[in-house]
């Protein structure tokens, strides 16, 4: 397993601003993932972040809105840009390998409220 921390744990932001969420893992991992959990809904994968390459975004998510950095094997950031109230969600990072049988381990999440 892996121990994952996220900063901040929660934030309240104004419309039009940006917030960068940090994800730190206690061991080196190949794959890191960013999810969004909107109120009352399921977890939705935003993107997969690989060290040394561009993040891979899922349908409906774009780099301009959710830029991701992955500078090394233990750290990643997700920025929520030009926020609107619809971006109010819990954002979670997870780690794990892709492929059959590989489970993912999740961070505690960042609860974002946009006014």
- Tell me which residues touch other proteins (CB under 8 A): 4, 33, 41-45, 48, 56, 58, 92, 94, 98-109
- By beta-carbon proximity to other proteins, the closer residue of 56 and 82 is 56
- By beta-carbon proximity to other proteins, the closer residue of 76 and 107 is 107
Q: Least distance in Å: CB of 75 to other proteins?
A: 18
How far apart, in Å, are the Cα atoms of 61 and each of 50, 65, 86, 87, 96? Answer: 17, 7, 13, 12, 21
- By beta-carbon proximity to other proteins, the closer residue of 24 and 48 is 48
How far apart, in Å, are the Cα atoms of 26 and each of 33, 69, 91, 99? Answer: 15, 17, 19, 22
Residues facing residue 21 across a β-bridge: 78
Q: Least distance in Å: CB of 92 to other proteins?
A: 7
């Amino acid at each position: 397993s892996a121990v994952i921390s996220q900063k901040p744990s929660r934030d309240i932001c104004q419309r039009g601003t940006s917030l960068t969420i940090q994800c730190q893992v206690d061991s080196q991992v190949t794959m890191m993932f960013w999810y969004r959990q909107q109120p009352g809904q399921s977890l939705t994968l935003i993107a997969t972040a690989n060290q040394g390459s561009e993040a891979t975004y899922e349908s409906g998510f774009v780099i301009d809105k959710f830029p991701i950095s992955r500078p090394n094997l233990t750290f990643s950031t997700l920025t929520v840009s030009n926020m609107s109230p619809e971006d109010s969600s819990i954002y979670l990072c997870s780690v794990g390998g892709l492929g059959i049988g590989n489970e993912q381990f999740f961070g505690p999440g960042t609860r974002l409220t946009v006014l």
